[in-house]
Every structure is written in C-alpha cells, then in structure tokens.
Amino acid sequence: MSVDERVKGIVAEQLGIGVDEINNESSFIDDLGADSLDTVELVMALEEEFDIEISDEEAENISTVKLQSTISISPPTNKTTTLL
C-alpha cells in the first residue's frame, strides 16, 4: 500500500467518510468537514501509523491530504525523512 493510500485510509477512518470522497487536494476543514480536534487526532494517527514525530509548526500547516508538500517528517531517530 502506498503512502498516499495509507494517509487516505487514516483520514477516512478518523473522519468517518469513504476513501473515495478524498483526493490529495482535499482540504481537511473546507472539503472534509474536519474541525480542530479532528486535525489533532489526524496528526496523532499519522504519527502512530508512520512512527514519526510531527512538530507543532508542521501540524499547524497541514491543511490538505497531500502531506508530502506540507511537512517533513522527523522519526524518533532524529533523521529527517520525507513522505514520498
């Protein structure tokens, strides 16, 4: 399963919507109806799924499903990785 598919699966599960309703440009708030609590829960779910740490600054900038262009991912090993 690709990173995009995994992200979409997490978003769908967290927001209680179908994966087919989500595309990479979907805005969490405007298109998918997420609120600030949903966004926090999404960040936590992504951190758990990918075993990463998302900084507060990066979390504040997450607005669409296409995370690769929004955040760089810092695994607990302190190596910087990008979701591709």
What angle is formed at CA 38 by the lines to CA 37 and CA 39, rounded to 5 degrees? Answer: 90
Residues classed as catalytic: 35
Residue type, 1: M
* Cβ partners under 8 Å of residue 24, min gap 6: 4, 64, 65, 66
